Chain A
Amino acid sequence: MTTYLGNFLLSLSLFFAISQFFVSKKNKFKFITITVNGLLISSLLSFGLLMYSHIISDFSILNVFQNSHTTKPLFYKISGVWGNHEGSMLLWILVLTIFNYFIFKLYNKYNSVFIAKTLEIQAFITTGFILFTILTSNPFQRMFPEQANGLGFNPILQDPALAIHPPLLYIGYVGFSAAFSISVATLTLNNNEKVPWYNYMKPFVLAAWTFLTIGIALGAVWAYYELGWGGWWFWDPVENASFMPWLLGTALLHSLIIVEKRKSLQAWVLLLAILAFLLSVIGTFLVRSGILTSVHTFALDPSRGIYILAFTALLGGYSLVLFGKKSKKYFNTNYFALFSREGSILINNILMTIICATVFLGTIYPLLIEAFTNNKISVGEPYFNSTAVPIMLPAILVMGVGPILAWSKEEKSKIFKKILPSVLLTGIMSVLIFSIYQSYSFIGIAGIILAFWIISNNIILLFKKNKNFSSGMLIAHLGIGFLILGITGSSIWQEEKITRLQIDTSTQINKYNIVFKEINEVKGPNYVALKGNFTVYDEKKNIITKLEPENRYYPITNSFTTEASIHTNLARDLYLVLGEGNLNKGWVVKIYYNPLVIWIWIGALIIFIGGIVSINNNLRKIKILS
C-alpha cells in the first residue's frame, strides 16, 4: 500500500515539475501557481510518507528494511530517512521544491518574464532529479517477502551532528540551484529588459553559503567526535566536494556586492553562479557514482553515475554555451581603484577561485592519472596543506583589510588612523596567546596574528555601530576570525600520544597526567561496549576531569565504533580514544591535546548567525524593490 502511494506521489511530483516547465515557458501565472504549490505539497507528502514508514518500521519497504531496525532510537529512525542514498535524494528534491517556492514568491508584474524564466530552469533541474530518483534510486521499492526486522543502520552514522548535517548541506547545494537558474534566466533576457537580477540572486546565494558553512562544520564536528582520529578535516574527496562550492560561493557572495554597487563584474558573477551549482552536482556525482573511494561512499551503482553525469552534461553544456554566447552584453567597464573596498573584494575573488581550482585539481588528479596511465596514486593532506593553505593566508590578510577601506578610493593617509585601535588590540592578544603556548612557526604566527586582526577589527566596528557596514557581514567576519584562530591553534599546537596502558598506570601529555582506572562492559540500547575509565590530573595533582571512551559493538550490523571521550574548555580539548587490548597486556590508548578546537565550532556558529542576519537584511531590500 505504502509503496503504491509513495510511487504515486513521486509521479505526481514529476507531473507537476514537468508542467511547471511548460507553463513557466508560457508565463501563465495561474498555472504556475498551481504547479509550484502542487510540486511543493506532493514532495512534502512523499518525504513525509517515507519518514512515517521509517518511524513505524514498515519493513514492507526495501529502503526501511535495508536501513532501519526496531531497536533504533526514534531520533535516528527519523535521521535514517536521509542517511541512505534513496532517502537523501527525496530530501534533495524536497529542498529543491522549497527553493522553487521561494523563487515563485518573488513573482510580480514587473519581473514576471524574468521570474517565469527562472522557474522554468528550476523546473528543469527538479524534473531531472525526480526522474533520477524514480529510475535509479526509488525509495519506495517493495520488500518481498516482508521481514520481521531490518538490517539496521550503520552505527557510525548514529550521531546528532550527522543527523542534521545532510539537510543543512543540501540547503547549501540546492540554494546554488536558485542562483544557477537566476543566472541562466538573466543570460536569456533580451537587451531591452533590465532586471536587478543581482538583488534577486543575493539572498539565495547568502542562504546557500550560510547553510553550506554550517553543514560543512557539522560534518567536521561529526568526524572529530565520531571517527576517533583526533582531527576534524581530512581533505577527503567528499569534504572537498563540499568545500569547492563553498569557495566559489564565497567569491560569488562578495562579487555580488560589487555588482550591486558598481555594476561591474556582471559576467563574472553569472559564470560563478553557474559553476557553483555545477560543482555541487559534480560533487554529488563523485559521491554517488562510486568513482572515488571515501568515507562517504554510498552503495555503488554505475547506472546512477551515468545518469547524473548525463544530467550534469546537459545542465553544464546548456548553461556554459549560453554563457559563451550571451555574456558579452554583461561586460561593463566601470573601473575602480585596487586600493578600495571593491579592489579588495576583487583580490579575494581571484584568491578564492585559485584555491578552488587547486582543491579541484588535487581531488580529480588521481582520476586523471588513472585515466591516462592506469597507475593509482592518492593525493592527500600534504598536497593541500602546501598548496591551498599558503593561498589562504593572503586571502585572510585581504579580508582583514578590505572591509575597513572606503568604497571607490581610499586615501592612504587616513588608513593608519583607522586601523590603529585594531593594531593595538591584535598586538596585545597575540602576545598573550604566544606567552601561553610558546611555540613559534611561520604559519602559526601568521595564522594567529591574522585571526586576532580580524577579530579585533570586527569587534571594534560592531561596537561603533557604523551605518557603512552591514552587521551581518561584521558578525560573519568575526566568526571567520574565531574559525581561523581555532584552525591554526589546533593544527600547529596539537600533541599526540599513542601508548599501551595497563590498569592503574598512567601517562603524560602536555601538562596533564592521565591515569587508567578501570575498564567495564556496559550495555546501550542497540549495542554493547567496553568503557574505559581515566582520570586526568594537572601538574598540581588536582583532578581535572574523568574521561570515559567506549568501544561499541553493534550486533545487528556486526560493526564496531569508537567513541572518543573529550574534555573541552576554551583553551584546549583533551581527546582520548580506546584501542585494542586485553587485561594482561593492557590497552592501546591514543591521546590528543588539541588546543583551541572549540573556537572552530564557535566560529562556524557565529558565521551562521551572521549569514542569517544578512539574509534577513537582503530580503528586506527585495521587498522595497517590489
Chain B
Amino acid sequence: MKNKLLILPSIFFAIILSIFFYLLITERNPSEIPSNLLNKNVPFFEAESLFKNEKFISSQELKNEIILVNFFATWCKPCRDEHVYIKRFSNKKGIKVIGINYKDNSKKTIEWLKNLGNPYSDVLIDKNGRIAIDWGVYGIPETFIVNSSGIIKYRHVGPITNKIYKKINLIINENE
C-alpha cells in the first residue's frame, strides 16, 4: 500500500505538466477576452456618419455582406499601428470595412484619415462611447467580423498584427 502511494507525486506532476503543455501548444492568447456577443446579432444602433449626411441605422446596413467593424481613435497609438492591416482589408473583395470613431474630435479624425489614407467605406461617430458600450468594447482598438446575416463571428481586442490579420482572413473565407 505504502509503496503505491509513493508514486502519487510523480503522477500528479505528470498530469499538471501535460495540461501546461497542452495550453502551451494550443493557439491561445491569454489576453483574449471572449465576447458574449459571439454568434449573436449585432446590437442595434443609430449614428451620425463622419462623411455622409444621412443617419446610419445598423439594422439596415449591417447585412447582406461580410462587414469588418473597427473601433478606433486618433489618440490611440496602436490604432495607427494596425492601420496598414485595415487598409489591406479595404482592398479585399467581398468585405465592407466600417470604422467607429470612439470618443474623438471629428476634425482631427478627418485630418488623420487624410494623412494615413481612409480604408473605411463609412466612419461613424461615437462621441460619448455609447455604441462601444453596447458592443462590449474593452479597449481601443477593437475589431469585429459580422457575417452576411448580421451575426458577430469574431472579435479581437487590441491592434491587428500579422498573425491576427491571417486569422481574420481565414474567418472571412469561412463565412463567404
A→B interface (CB under 8 Å):
271, 274-275, 278, 282, 285, 289-293, 297, 302, 305-306, 309, 312-313, 316-317, 320-321, 323-325, 327-328, 331, 364, 367-368, 370-371, 375-376, 558
Which of B26-34, B48-56, B102-110, B128-136 lines the interface with chain A? B26-34
Residue B115 is within 8 A (CB to CB) of chain A in the complex: no
Cβ contact within 8 Å between A320 and B23: no
Residues of A within 8 A of B34 (CB): 375-376
Which partner residue on chain A sits nearest B32 by CB separation? A376
Alpha-carbon gap, A293 to B157, bound state (A): 15
Residues of A within 8 A of B2 (CB): 328, 331
User: Would you give the shortest CB distance from A296 to chain B, in whole angstroms?
Assistant: 13
Q: List 18 A-B contacts (CB under 8 A).
A: A275-B9, A289-B24, A293-B31, A309-B24, A316-B10, A316-B17, A317-B14, A320-B9, A320-B13, A321-B7, A323-B6, A323-B10, A324-B10, A367-B19, A367-B23, A370-B23, A370-B28, A371-B23
Which partner residue on chain B sits nearest A303 by CB separation? B24
Alpha-carbon gap, A320 to B14, bound state (A): 10
Residues of B within 8 A of A367 (CB): 19-20, 23
User: Would you give the shortest CB distance from A241 to chain B, in whole angstroms?
Assistant: 13
Cβ contact within 8 Å between A302 and B24: yes
Q: From DSSP, what is the main secondary structure of chain B's interface residues?
A: helix
Residues of B within 8 A of A275 (CB): 9
Residues of A within 8 A of B6 (CB): 323-325, 327-328
Which partner residue on chain A sits nearest B8 by CB separation? A324
Cβ contact within 8 Å between B19 and A368: yes
State which of A292, A312, A324, A370 has its C-beta within 8 Å of the C-beta of B7: A324
Residue B77 is within 8 A (CB to CB) of chain A in the complex: yes
Residues of B within 8 A of A371 (CB): 19, 22-23
Alpha-carbon gap, A490 to B34, bound state (A): 36
Residue B164 is within 8 A (CB to CB) of chain A in the complex: no
Cβ contact within 8 Å between A291 and B24: yes
Output the residue of A271, A320, A367, A370 with the most chain B CB within 10 A.
A320
State which of B13, B14, B30 has its C-beta within 8 Å of the C-beta of A291: B30
Alpha-carbon gap, A497 to B144, bound state (A): 38
B→A interface (CB under 8 Å):
2-3, 6-7, 9-10, 13-14, 16-17, 19-25, 28, 30-31, 33-34, 77
Cβ contact within 8 Å between B16 and A364: yes
Nearest 10 A/B pairs, CB to CB: A320-B10, A324-B7, A293-B30, A324-B6, A305-B24, A316-B13, A320-B9, A371-B19, A313-B17, A321-B10
Cβ contact within 8 Å between B10 and A306: no
User: Would you give the shortest CB distance from B4 to chain A, in whole angstroms?
Assistant: 9
State which of B7, B14, B21 has its C-beta within 8 Å of the C-beta of A309: B21
Alpha-carbon gap, A291 to B30, bound state (A): 7
User: Would you give the shortest CB distance from B22 to chain A, in whole angstroms?
Assistant: 6
Cβ contact within 8 Å between B23 and A317: no
Cβ contact within 8 Å between B19 and A317: no
Given contacts A328-B3, A375-B34, A558-B77, contact A306 B24 (CB under 8 A): yes
Given contacts A291-B20, A309-B21, contact A323 B9 (CB under 8 A): yes
Alpha-carbon gap, A120 to B49, bound state (A): 71
Residues of A within 8 A of B16 (CB): 282, 364
User: Would you give the shortest CB distance from A255 to chain B, in whole angstroms?
Assistant: 16
Alpha-carbon gap, A289 to B25, bound state (A): 11
Which partner residue on chain B sits nearest A372 by CB separation? B19
Cβ contact within 8 Å between A312 and B77: no
Residues of A within 8 A of B14 (CB): 317
Alpha-carbon gap, A228 to B34, bound state (A): 29
Which partner residue on chain A sits nearest B21 by CB separation? A309
Which partner residue on chain B sits nearest A285 by CB separation? B20
Residues of B within 8 A of A376 (CB): 33-34
Q: Could you list 12 further interchain pairs (A-B, Cβ under 8 angstroms) beyond the known A275-B9, A278-B13, A364-B16?
A: A290-B30, A291-B23, A291-B24, A292-B30, A297-B30, A306-B21, A317-B14, A320-B10, A320-B13, A321-B10, A324-B10, A371-B19
User: Would you give the shortest CB distance from B15 to chain A, in whole angstroms?
Assistant: 10
Residues of A within 8 A of B33 (CB): 376
Which partner residue on chain A sits nearest B5 by CB separation? A324
Cβ contact within 8 Å between A317 and B13: yes
Which partner residue on chain B sits nearest A366 by CB separation? B30
Alpha-carbon gap, A266 to B160, bound state (A): 56
Residues of B within 8 A of A317 (CB): 10, 13-14
User: Would you give the shortest CB distance from B163 to chain A, in whole angstroms?
Assistant: 12
Residues of B within 8 A of A375 (CB): 34
Alpha-carbon gap, A317 to B23, bound state (A): 20
Residues of B within 8 A of A285 (CB): 20
Alpha-carbon gap, A271 to B9, bound state (A): 9
Residues of B within 8 A of A331 (CB): 2
Alpha-carbon gap, A317 to B18, bound state (A): 12
Alpha-carbon gap, A331 to B21, bound state (A): 34
Residues of A within 8 A of B23 (CB): 291, 367, 370-371
Alpha-carbon gap, A317 to B21, bound state (A): 15
Alpha-carbon gap, A367 to B18, bound state (A): 12
Output the residue of B2, B3, B7, B16 with the most chain A CB within 10 A.
B16
Output the residue of B21, B24, B33 with the most chain A CB within 10 A.
B24
User: Would you give the shortest CB distance from A237 to chain B, in whole angstroms?
Assistant: 10
Residues of B within 8 A of A297 (CB): 30
User: Would you give the shortest CB distance from A283 to chain B, in whole angstroms?
Assistant: 12
Alpha-carbon gap, A370 to B10, bound state (A): 23
Alpha-carbon gap, A282 to B9, bound state (A): 15
Which partner residue on chain B sits nearest A376 by CB separation? B34
Alpha-carbon gap, A306 to B17, bound state (A): 11
Residues of B within 8 A of A271 (CB): 9
Which partner residue on chain A sits nearest B6 by CB separation? A324
Cβ contact within 8 Å between A324 and B20: no
Alpha-carbon gap, A204 to B91, bound state (A): 64
Alpha-carbon gap, A558 to B22, bound state (A): 36
Alpha-carbon gap, A278 to B14, bound state (A): 12
Residues of A within 8 A of B28 (CB): 370
Alpha-carbon gap, A190 to B127, bound state (A): 77
Residues of A within 8 A of B25 (CB): 302, 306
Residues of B within 8 A of A293 (CB): 30-31
Given contacts A291-B23, A328-B3, A367-B23, contact A309 B30 (CB under 8 A): no
Residues of A within 8 A of B22 (CB): 371
User: Would you give the shortest CB distance from B92 to chain A, in whole angstroms?
Assistant: 29
User: Would you give the shortest CB distance from B81 to chain A, in whole angstroms?
Assistant: 12
User: Would you give the shortest CB distance from A612 to chain B, in whole angstroms?
Assistant: 32
Alpha-carbon gap, A331 to B30, bound state (A): 44
User: Would you give the shortest CB distance from A475 to chain B, in whole angstroms?
Assistant: 34
User: Would you give the shortest CB distance from B8 to chain A, in whole angstroms?
Assistant: 8
User: Would you give the shortest CB distance from A607 to chain B, in whole angstroms?
Assistant: 29
Which partner residue on chain B sits nearest A325 by CB separation? B6
Output the residue of B2, B3, B9 with the most chain A CB within 10 A.
B9
